[in-house]
Structure 1
Amino acid sequence: MRFNFGSATLAALALLAVVTAAPAEIAERQSTVKIMALGDSITGSPGCWRAYLWQKLQQAGIKNTDFVGTLPAQGCGFQYDGENEGHGGFLAINIADQNQLPGWLSSTKPDIVMMHLGTNDVWNNRSPAEITTAFSKLVDQMRASKSSMKILVAKIIPMNPPNCGECGARVVALNSVIDSWAAGKNSSSSPITVVDTWTGFDTATMTGDGVHPNDVGNKKLAETWFAPLASAIQS
Structure 2
Amino acid sequence: MVRFSSAQVLLTATLATFAQAAAVRWMPLGDSITDYGCWRAWIWERFQKEGYNVDLVGGEKAGENCNGLNFDRDHEGHPGFMAVDIVAKNQLVDWLKKNPADVVTMHLGTNDIFRGNRKTAEITAALGKLIDQMRESNAAMRIIVAQIIPLPTVDKQVQELNQAIPAWAASKNSTVSPIWVVDQWTNFTSADLKDGIHPSESGDVKMANKFYPALVHAIATLDGK
TM-score, normalization: structure 1? 0.83
Tell me the residue number matched to 1:91.
82
Matched, 1:52 2:31: no
Which amino acid counterpart does residue 69 of structure 1 have in structure 2? G
In 2, Cα distance between the equivalents of 1:196 and 1:57? 21
User: Would you say the 8 A contact 1:51–1:80 is kept in 2?
Assistant: yes
TM-score, normalization: structure 2? 0.86
Matched residues, number: 200
Matched, 1:145 2:137: yes
Of 191, 204, 209, 1:218 maps to: 204
Tell me the residue number matched to 1:41.
32
Q: Secondary structure at the match of 2:139?
A: coil
In 1, Cα distance between the equivalents of 2:184 and 2:93? 26
In 1, Cα distance between the equivalents of 2:20 and 2:212? 23
Tell me the residue number matched to 1:157.
149
In 1, Cα distance between the equivalents of 2:78 and 2:45? 22
In 1, Cα distance between the equivalents of 2:37 and 2:95? 18
Which amino acid counterpart does residue 89 of structure 1 have in structure 2? G
Q: 1:145 to 1:173 in 2, by over 3 A?
A: same
Tell me the residue number matched to 1:16.
none
In 2, Cα distance between the equivalents of 1:55 and 1:30? 20
Tell me the residue number matched to 1:125.
117
In 1, Cα distance between the equivalents of 2:45 and 2:59? 21
Q: Secondary structure at the match of 2:180?
A: strand
Deviates more, 1:220-229 or 1:66-75: 66-75
Q: Secondary structure at the match of 1:121?
A: helix
Q: How far is the alpha carbon of 1:73 from its aligned partner? A: 3.6
Unmatched tracts of structure 1, length 5 or more:
1-27
Residue by residue, what CA displacement relative to the aligned partner does 1:30-65 show, whole Å, maximum 9, x if unpaired? Answer: 521000000000000x21110011111222222x10
Quick check: which has more Rg, 1 or 2? 1
Q: Which structure would you say has the larger RCO, counting Cα contacts within 8 Å and 6 or more residues apart?
A: 2
Tell me the residue number matched to 1:193.
180
- Which segments of structure 1 move beyond 3 Å, counting only runs of 4 or more? none
Tell me the residue number matched to 1:230.
216
Q: Secondary structure at the match of 1:174?
A: helix
Which amino acid counterpart does residue 143 of structure 1 have in structure 2? R
Q: How far is the alpha carbon of 1:210 from its aligned partner? A: 1.3
Which amino acid counterpart does residue 68 of structure 1 have in structure 2? V
Mapping for residues 63-78 of structure 1, pairs under 5 Å: 64-75=53-64, 76=66, 77-78=68-69
Residue by residue, what CA displacement relative to the aligned partner does 1:108-140 show, whole Å, maximum 9, x if unpaired? Answer: 100000000000001121001000000111000
Unmatched tracts of structure 2, length 5 or more:
1-18
Matched, 1:107 2:93: no
Percent same amino acid among aligned pairs? 47
In 1, Cα distance between the equivalents of 2:155 and 2:20? 44
Tell me the residue number matched to 1:7.
none
Tell me the residue number matched to 1:12.
none
In 1, Cα distance between the equivalents of 2:51 and 2:172? 32
Q: 1:107 to 1:29 in 2, by over 3 A?
A: farther
Deviates more, 1:53-62 or 1:121-130: 53-62
Matched, 1:175 2:166: no
Q: Where is the helix percentage greater, Structure 1 or Structure 2?
A: 1
